[in-house]
Amino acid sequence: MATEEVDPRFADLDAWSLAAAMEAMWEGQLAAVAAVGSALPAITAATNAAKEALGDRGRLIYVGAGTSGRVAVQDGAELTPTFAWPQERLHFIIAGGESAFVASVEGAEDDVADAVKQIDAARPSPNDVVIAVAASGTTPFTVSALQQAGTYGAVTIGVANNPATDLLTSAQYPVLVETGRELIAGSTRMKAGTAQKVVLNLISTGIMLGLGCVYRGMMVNMQPTNAKLKRRAETMVAQISGCSETPAARALEQSGGDIKIAALLVLGYDKGEAESILARDKGNLRRVFTELAGRGE
């Protein structure tokens, strides 16, 4: 596997000047991001399938081991504060369990039985989306978890950095990002890890776009849980409804911090009407405003 091979170009990396090594590592990061480009069709297909399956009740289930598992956790953990994705619709299946989030758990990535056990405990459904990440594409825990999830009818997405590997052949939606040899052989926290984070960013953000969590470039599902976010929410409501920040702040207070409802309150709807309008269009503000415009409201 390319990710495990020593790159002759960097065989003496430890003897280089720090400046030269830094430049080489930086170039490696740029190459990792560039490698994602050729995978965009596969990423788009996976994202579309995920959006269709999730609807208003499916779960996002991230699977991984080691570095790949921690990259997956990082992506998933950001969905609640950014898009108010419900915690009950987010699940992590990581080799070694929660302790592996911050520390290496030796041998965990080979524990096939634990992978199957964790998937069985989660009991994924056809509305759930399982995103499994492994740089090698062969990690036993990750491959087995993905395969087991498939038996439940869940949508399965596999992200790997080596071609024709078990993770990719087992996934309904394989995403290959060929980042090649690492500057430090096997250190997939570098190029492979960077590419994985980019891919997961694209998939999760694409899903949220499709589910109406974004409107005119704003994270309108965000929960204003601190002073900075409250100011941001007020600005969003003001921009959406065309008012100043004082009525926007008042509407946010009346809506309990719901940006979408607050925007409709400013526009003259009462809270019940706003909730009904949003429910009809599944919380998608663009659909709401298109519909209201069509009705001359």
Strands 155-160, 60-64: pairing is unpaired
- Tokens representing 160 are 């790997």
Catalytic residue among 5, 23, 98, 109: 109
182 classed as catalytic? no
- Tokens representing 61 are 């289930």
Terminal alpha carbon distance of the chain: 60
Catalytic residue among 78, 178, 245, 275: 78
Q: Decide: 213 and 287 in contact? Cβ < 8 Å.
A: no
Print burial letters for 23-48: b (CB count within 10 Å at least 16), e (below 16).
Answer: eeeeebeeebeebbeebeebbeebbe
Question: What is the Cα–Cα distance from 261 to 1, expressed in whole angstroms?
Answer: 52
Task: Name the residues annotated as catalytic.
Answer: 78, 109
